Amino acid sequence: MILKRAVETAAGLQSSMEYALKQCLPEAGPLGLAIGIDLDVTLVSKIGTRGQRDRICIGDGVENAARAQEKSAAREVSLTPRTFPLLDEHFQPQFSLDQKRNLYVASNFYFDRFERAAKAAAYAAGAAVTVRTASKTATVVRGGEAGGRQVVPSKSWAR
């Protein structure tokens, strides 16, 4: 679950950079975001004197993620080899192994791609989904949730 949230957050950050920030700040056009992801035990703290504290994160996962980010190019989300197998199966095809860098990399992995992969997995499983509609949007989420209508996909979607 934590890894799914990390990948979802990375996709959201990439989307924000490419779609929102660059519209507001055209001078940011040549910039791109590189993200590295790893999982491990991490110590998070604030250190320093009162009023002058800095937030810090310490641990192997932090160092591995930083190395993955440094090896990544703009508009890439990279997973370490030990993290990739922990990723939900329906997100794995979004990433490909770059043997030279020893990373699993997704280029241009924006939130719409993440969301489509999640919806496709829900349909492929044949599990019930909840459809909620608002003024001009429809949201599909896995499982039963309040405030929407539950739909069980037909078997044709499960292929």
At 25-54, the pLDDT tens digits run 989 989 999 999 999 999 999 998 888 899
Backbone angles phi and psi of 51, in degrees to 5:
85, -10
DSSP-derived letter for residue 20 is: I
Query: Could you tell me which CATH class the domain 2-111 is placed in?
Result: alpha beta
The whole-model pTM stands at 0.72
DSSP-derived letter for residue 19 is: I
List the structure tokens of 77.
Answer: 């989300």
Residue 125 pLDDT > 80, yes or no?
no
Please, what sign has the CA dihedral across residues 96, 100, 102, 105?
negative
Domains in the chain: boundaries: 2-111, 126-158
Length of the chain in residues, anyone? 159
Lateral strand order in the sheet of 76-79: 34-37, 76-79, 103-107, 96-98
What are 46-104's pLDDT values in tens digits? 998 888 899 999 999 999 999 999 999 999 999 999 999 999 888 899 999 999 999 99
